[in-house]
Amino acid sequence: MALSARLLTLRNSPVLLKLPPYLSALCIVIGIAWFFILPLNEYSRQTYVSENAILPGQVHTYFGGSEHNVFRAYRQEVYQLSQFSETDRLAALEKVLREIGLKVAAQPYHFTVAGEEVKGTNVYGVLQGPRADATEAMVLMAAWRNFEGEINYSGLALALTLARYFKRWSIWSKDIILLIPADSTYGPEAWVSAYHSTSPDITATRNVSSLPIKAGALQATVALDYPVGPWGHRFDKLDILYDGINGALPNLDLLNTAVAIASGQMGIGCTIHGMLSHSDSYRDRLTTLAKGVVTQSAGQATGPHSAFVPYHVDAITLKTVGDGWHDEMSLGRTTESLFRSINNLLEHLHQSFFFYILLNANRFASIGNYLPAAMLLAGSFTVTALALWVQSGQVAVGPATKMEGTEKNGAQPELEVVKIGDAVALVPAATTKPAEREMLLPAAVVLAVHLASFLPLYSLNSLHRQHLPTALQTTIATSLLLPALASTALTRRSQISTQQIQIMQSFSLLLLGTSLATLATLNFSLAFVVGVLASPLSFVRPLPRGTTTGFPAVLGRVGREYRYALQVAMNLIATLLYAVASPPVVLYALCWYFSQDVGGLLLEMAKGWSVQGVYTSFVIWAVWWPAWVVGGIALCRGGGER
């Protein structure tokens, strides 16, 4: 009780009421600063293999010798196939797989995205483990075209050679599926979704046929990306791609196993996010971290493996980079050893982290270390929302509205005589009194803005690709006009009060805060990035209009005649800054910064949304955009008179 009594005395403390903006700013500063300390040794850890069953690099690999001759022949064969028409190529691939001794099947798929037709056929073969019981499987994937659109000659040839080599072993406890998707985004997506779908429904945009052959629960997927033709090319390092759709990550153990085998057993260096030279300095670590956060927050596929991760199938892509002295046999032996390790698994990979940010191929920050950054950012909105809520419940009592320039004199509090029975006391007079909150209108406005957010969400994801940039420009125009128009309408029509504006902002920020906090546990990077970009929303207050409240005291000495002009100028600057922080403008700015075509980016987002279920655009348009619009309404409504 003592605590609650003490807390009760705090209720009207003026210090407490003034605190929230500073607290909120502090949250943002610490949240962003937190991000920069993550690369330090104290806040990150060396990776380690957590699952004992994996035993990475403990087996002797035998892939080599005459297999190299076979590999060269398969690479020539793949090269010849690339000259064929698609139907001939598929038939020839099926024939090769059948000769190896696999059960072969094909799966055609067809997507319609943003007015674009995506068609292809996946070919796959199942190597039935001689002593396996058909309950589990691992996938070896070599897409016909890699993520950059090059033909994956050597990767596919290596996968075929490995399949032929694996066929001779009787040690497999799981079936091995050799999957050859037609491309690196839609093929794997079509295959893995058909593998798991309960009832394959054909919709207008999605026609994925069911799989004739299956092989139990998928345990892990390894994709090979080695787009080198029959002329050969030795590589320097292996780039390990691991980001899944929506920032879902494969178990860290799979990544660690690949790194341990490649660098420990085979002596091949591993890189992350294409950082070919990584000196393990703070700067390099931070760059890797930033690249990881950007890729994860985009939520888009980063390689053929990405489609598997949302289905809880741990997957990575091994991509060869650079010029060096490692040849295809080293990659083959790495893959062999990796499959032997996965084969050892008694249970699904679960032991190690699913939430991590890599700073290096063997250094990571775990969720406990990085989550506070995003949570603090999300918390800043909640703090402001609560402060606004408290403010909205109090109105100033008559004479307490002080004249400008009397702050120093007004420090003397007004006193009041209170009489209870015989006791008489002199207490400071209450400067505020509780007010009834009128919540219907604010709630309706917030709801309406959130509903309106489905317009940009729908138009930017469903229109034909030609119209996407136009749609974004329209969205910019309407987004910028909407707050001004809405606030005018609300002021004129409904006579929205300052209190209602506060409540409206409070609702909106509360929603933003909770959404981001929830999102941070699913996709840290997206929550963090949106949190940083939306952080100005905490400090949006109605612009001063016609009055001098909130006017900087320093400027008070400048002549009164300039005051109005200055105010207009300040308001303009604030409005401009606010406009710059709007989601569509930020999208444009990002395109400019990464020197990407706006149409291309929008097309990628639309494809991700409709084919792979990437929810980044939902977060942008249905979480961030409404909060921005509501902030804008508050900003434009102006303060001063009721």
Partner 1 sequence: MKLAQLLALPATLISAVLAIPEYSEHLHLRPLPNGYLYAGFNFTASTSLSAYESQHFRYFPRSLGQILQHSDTRELHLRFALGRWDDESWGSRPRDGKREGGTGVEIWSWLDSGGGKPAVEERWSSLVNSLSGLFCASLNFIDGTKTTRPVLSFEPEGTHRGGGNGMELLHGTLPHEVVCTENLTPFLKLLPCKGKAGISSLLDGHKVFDANWQTMSIDVRPICGLGGDCRLEIQQTVDIVLDIKRSMRPRNDPIPRPRPVEELECDESKSYHASDTCYPKRKEGEMAWSLSKIFGTPVRGSCHVADGDESHDISLEVSPDRAVEVSHGGSNDTLASHEQNQLVRTMRLPDSARQHTDISLPQHIFQDSPHQNRPTLYASRQITGCGQERGGMHTVLHNPHTHQQRIVYLESLPWFLRPYMHTLKVLTHPTNSHDRPTIPLKPDQMYYTPALDRKRGTHLELLLTIPAQSTVELTYDFDKAILRYTEYPPDANRGFDVAPAIIRVLPSTHNTHNTSTAGNEIGQDSYFRTTSLLLPLPTPDFSMPYNVIILTSTVIALGFGSIFNLLVRRFVLAEEVPRSAVAVRVAGVLGKVRGVVGSLKGRLRGGGQGRGGGGVAVGVNGVAAEGDGGMNGVSSVVESRKER
Question: From the CB of 256, what's the least distance to partner 1, in Å?
Answer: 17
Select 65 or 398, whichever has its Cβ closest to partner 1: 65
DSSP helix/strand/coil, 140 = strand
Q: How far apart are CA 20 and CA 294, in angstroms?
A: 30
Contact between residue 637 and residue 501 where contact means Cβ atoms under 8 Å apart: yes
Select 526 or 586, whichever has its Cβ closest to partner 1: 526
Select 34 or 578, whichever has its Cβ closest to partner 1: 34
Question: From the CB of 254, what's the least distance to partner 1, in Å?
Answer: 16
Question: From the CB of 17, what's the least distance to partner 1, in Å?
Answer: 10
Select 136 or 239, whichever has its Cβ closest to partner 1: 136
3-state DSSP percent of the chain in helix, strand and coil, to 5: 55, 15, 30
Question: From the CB of 307, what's the least distance to partner 1, in Å?
Answer: 12
Angle among Cα 160, 161, 165 to the nearest 5 degrees reads: 115
Angle among Cα 4, 6, 9 to the nearest 5 degrees reads: 110
Q: Which residues is 51 bridged to in the sheet?
A: none
Question: From the CB of 319, what's the least distance to partner 1, in Å?
Answer: 25
DSSP character string of 150-186: -B-HHHHHHHHHHHHHHTT----SSEEEEEE-SSSSH
Select 350 or 402, whichever has its Cβ closest to partner 1: 350
DSSP helix/strand/coil, 83 = coil
Select 382 or 487, whichever has its Cβ closest to partner 1: 382
Select 7 or 426, whichever has its Cβ closest to partner 1: 7
Q: Which residues bind partner 1 (CB under 8 A)?
A: 4, 7-8, 10-11, 16, 53, 62-70, 72-74, 76-77, 99, 101, 103, 128, 130-136, 164-165, 168-170, 196-199, 202, 213-214, 216-217, 230, 311-312, 346-348, 350, 353, 355, 366-368, 371, 386, 389-390, 393, 434, 521
Element (H, E) at 330: helix 328-344
Under 8 Å CB-to-CB from 343, ≥6 apart: which residues? 138, 171, 172, 173, 174
Question: From the CB of 196, what's the least distance to partner 1, in Å?
Answer: 4
DSSP helix/strand/coil, 494 = helix
Question: From the CB of 162, what's the least distance to partner 1, in Å?
Answer: 12
Backbone angles phi, psi at 593, to 5 degrees: -65, -45
Single-letter residue type at 532: V
Q: How far apart are CA 245 and CA 604, in angstroms?
A: 13
Q: How far apart are CA 491 and CA 485, in angstroms?
A: 10
Q: Which residues is 224 bridged to in the sheet?
A: 318
Select 165 or 339, whichever has its Cβ closest to partner 1: 165
Contact between residue 138 and residue 220 where contact means Cβ atoms under 8 Å apart: yes
Contact between residue 139 and residue 187 where contact means Cβ atoms under 8 Å apart: no
Select 95 or 402, whichever has its Cβ closest to partner 1: 95
Question: From the CB of 135, what's the least distance to partner 1, in Å?
Answer: 4
Residue with tokens 């207009």: 568
Contact between residue 196 and residue 311 where contact means Cβ atoms under 8 Å apart: yes
Single-letter residue type at 590: L
Select 160 or 636, whichever has its Cβ closest to partner 1: 160
Cα 192 to chain centroid distance, Å, stands at 21
Select 77 or 253, whichever has its Cβ closest to partner 1: 77
Backbone angles phi, psi at 117, to 5 degrees: -95, 130
Question: From the CB of 549, what's the least distance to partner 1, in Å?
Answer: 25
Question: From the CB of 170, what's the least distance to partner 1, in Å?
Answer: 6
Select 391 or 478, whichever has its Cβ closest to partner 1: 391
Select 269 or 332, whichever has its Cβ closest to partner 1: 332
Single-letter residue type at 494: S
Select 98 or 464, whichever has its Cβ closest to partner 1: 98
User: Which is nearest to 361 in space by CA: 459, 495, 239, 525?
Assistant: 239
Question: From the CB of 338, what's the least distance to partner 1, in Å?
Answer: 18
Burial of 199 (0-12, 13-18, 19+ CB in 10 A): exposed
Question: From the CB of 581, what's the least distance to partner 1, in Å?
Answer: 29
Q: How far apart are CA 281 and CA 155, in angstroms?
A: 33
The β-bridge relationship of strands 217-225 and 314-326 is parallel
Cα 126 to chain centroid distance, Å, stands at 34
Question: From the CB of 88, what's the least distance to partner 1, in Å?
Answer: 16
Calculate Rg over the CA atoms of the chain.
Answer: 30
Question: From the CB of 525, what's the least distance to partner 1, in Å?
Answer: 17
